[in-house]
Amino acid sequence: MLDMRRCLERQEREIKERRHRRVEEKRVQQEEDEQVAMAVGLLNLESQVRSRGSQVGHGPNMDRHRHSRGKNLLEDYFIPNFVYSNCDVARVLGLLP
């Protein structure tokens, strides 16, 4: 009877130890998975970074006169001596044949 009890106690200890090892292995695996996910995320961020502005080897920016576009639009359509008539505007918009 004493041998049986010792055997059962040993089996219970072994079961507890196996459970403890599985829990510990699972925790370590989760930590490794989190580290891999963070590393992949950082690599994705680095690959998405785009450089802006001047770059060595590229030509200078061209002046496209953007500052005058709004002024030209107002002058062409909305001042008393406008360039385009209402008929021209309607034709462009497809309202007239």
Per-residue pLDDT tens over the stretch 25-40:
999 999 999 999 999 9
Domain annotation covers residue 41: yes
Domain annotation covers residue 36: yes
Structural domain of 27: 1-47
- Residue 20's pLDDT is 95
- Is residue 69 within 8 A of residue 77, CB to CB? The reply is no
- Highest-scoring range by mean pLDDT, 38-42, 45-49, 57-61: 38-42
Domain annotation covers residue 43: yes
Instruction: Please give the tally of structural domains in the chain.
Output: 2
* Residue whose C-alpha is closest to residue 84's, from 71, 95, 73, 94: 73
How many CA within 13 A on the CB side of residue 34? Answer: 6
**pTM given for the model:** 0.41
